[in-house]
Structure formats: structure tokens, C-alpha cells
Amino acid sequence: MIGYAVSFLLGLGVGGLYPMVRRRRAPEAGPPAVELSAAVQESVTVFGEEAAALEFDASGPDATPAVLKEYRAALTAYDRASGARTEADALTALRDGRAAMIRLDARRQGRPVPIDALPPAPEASRPLPLTGTGERHVSTGHGDGRTEVLIDRPEPGRPALLEAEVTGGGNFIVQTVTRTEELTGTGDSLLSIIDEYHGRRYLPADATHLRVITDNSSDDHRWSTRIAPLSAATPLAAEHRGHGDEVLHHSGGPALLTVQFQTDSGWQVRYLCQCLRGWRDCDCRPPAWPKDTPGDWGDGVSGLGDGRRTLRLPRSGFLVVHEDYGGGSWYLTTQPVDIPPQPSRPRRGRRR
């Protein structure tokens, strides 16, 4: 199942790349190859199909040396994965190949190109996390450690959702990192929890890596993260109950959002306009709220412990619900506000 895509990839019209990739070295002596699990075989096949689907002309105007290098790296990684002797080798090749695909797409689309972190000292080195099946957008790990995971976005260049699940005891911290050829910096802390967790957080568009830190882990401490498109946000219902961290999509017009929390920790509900710009940068035209309209006018509401607040939602957008330590519950209700359309501004005639 995983072999058919090799000939397809190598048969693409890629000019000088074909002879280079076609000449595979003879396998080196080593332990006999093991049969890959069906799930890993499927991941290798899917990666081959993704690489084969690239609409890339190696002799085209965008085929710069840097772009060709990433393209060759992706094809070579597929070659390694399909001929791997162990599942660890196959998973490592898949990870390297997807990283090359991410960089390739960024270079072709003119976005910042993510780069690797500095290599760790030999005595402190440890393998990067490998998923159990090589499934795209998923990373897993266990025990104590510190690592960076390259973000593979379903919608490159756009915000996404980070779904995290942690079982067992221990500390689990996730930070965003921007690491590109032009800029390197540590961003916000998305998660800082103890013990078990299940929730979703909003992942900004400029982050390129996730830094995962775990310590004081119990023997059964396991974690997994999945990157999902922002379009997978849960639709906001007229009455919505939940707990912990969540990202909701408000698809209606102007409305009043009543937020109720029952918790012992701090909490926050942040509104993000459909334009996906921050509150200060959003230039969408605000609605003409009636004078007696209640509620806070801003990008969110927050509190400590039990609380009830009302927030004005000017238009469709996203709600990022966060509870500091979990264990509580929240209840959201929305009430549409009827706002007459604003009269259009008269056009000024051109002077003669």
C-alpha cells in the first residue's frame, strides 16, 4: 500500500530532481526490517499523496534554490519513510518530511519560514516526540522533558485551535514560540496545568512552534496535542454550558452575551472579531447600539471566583473561554439585539 506512491512521486516532471531522487542507495546492513503497523503504513501513504499533490514545477519561476532544497527534502523523507526498517525510523522520516513541506509552502507563499531551534547539548539531548501512528497535526509525549514541536497548520497562515489532552499526574506547560529566519521570540503561555486536562485554546497565526514542558510526572503521565482549523470551533448556542477551556464560534449579528461562572479560580471570556484582528487593530464598523444597551463594550470580560457579566458582541466572531485551574463550570446565553441598519453615507460628486 505504501509503495505505489514512490513511483508516482519520482515520475513527476521535476527536471533534474528526478535523477537525483531516483538513484536510491542500496540498503545498508542492519537488523531485519519489521512490519509497520497498518496505521503507520497509512500515514506514510497519506504523506506520499500529499507530496504528489503538490502543484510544483521545478523549472518554474518560483523554483529558487531554497525552494528546491525543501522539495528535495520532502521527497527524500518519503523515500526514507517507505523504506524504513523500524517504526521509529518511519515516524522520524514523516516528521522531517512534513517539516520540509511546511517550509516549502511558506517559501512559495511568501510567509515567514520557520526554522529549527538550536541543537541541544549532547548530554542533554533527547528524542523529539513522535506520534504513535504518524498522524498529521498530532504530537504525543510522556514523562518529564522539554521540547519544541513545529506547528503544522491545517490552514497555513491562519489562526488555529490547539486541542490538548493530559492524563496522569504532573505539570504540563505549553508556550507559543515564533522562530523564523527573520524573528525569534517566546509568546504567550497557552497552558499551565497540574494533573489531568482536556480542552481547546486559540492558537495565534504568528506562532511557528509549541514549547512543551513537563515535570514532576507520574509513571502514567501522558499528553497529546492536535492542531485543528479555526473553522472547527464549536458553534455557540443560544444557551451554552461547559467547563474548562473552549473556543466557540458566534455566527449571528449584534447580541448580548451573558457569562456566568461557578469556579474557585480566575476566568476570562475574550471576543475576537470575524476579521481575526485584535481589538485595537480591528477596523470593522461598530454597530449603533441603542443608548440603553447594557453590557461591557470591549474585547472581553473576566473575574475571580463565581461571577456574572454581560458582554456586547458587535458581530460574528469567536469566543475564547478560559478558566485558570479548571474544576468549575460556565453558562453562556446570547440575546440578539435589533439594530436598524445605519444610513449609507452620501457620495460626494466629482467637481468639474
Examine the domain organization and report whether 199 and 290 are in the same domain: no
Average pLDDT in the 284-301 region?
90
Backbone φ, ψ for residue 229 (5° rounding) = -70, 155
In a domain, 246, yes or no: yes
Q: Percent of the chain scored above 90 by pLDDT?
A: 62
Q: Give the per-residue pLDDT at 176.
A: 96
Residue 7 confidence (pLDDT) above 50: no
CA distance 3 to 166: 36
In a domain, 193, yes or no: yes
Residue 63 confidence (pLDDT) above 50: yes
Place of cell 541541544: 120
Examine the domain organization and report whether 216 and 294 are in the same domain: no
Q: How far apart are the first and last CA of the chain?
A: 73
Helices 87-109 and 38-52: crossing angle in degrees, nearest 10, is 20
Q: Give the per-residue pLDDT at 157.
A: 92
Rg (CA), the chain: 24
Examine the domain organization and report whether 147 and 219 are in the same domain: yes
Examine the domain organization and report whether 225 and 247 are in the same domain: no
Residue 234 burial (CB count, 10 A): 15
CA distance 220 to 214: 13
Length of the chain: 352
State the pLDDT confidence band at 27, using cuts at 50, 70 and 90.
very low
| Burial of 206: CB neighbours in 10 Å, binned 0-12, 13-18, 19+ | middle
By residue range, what is the domain housing residue 221?
137-231
* CATH code for the domain of 165: 2.60.120.200
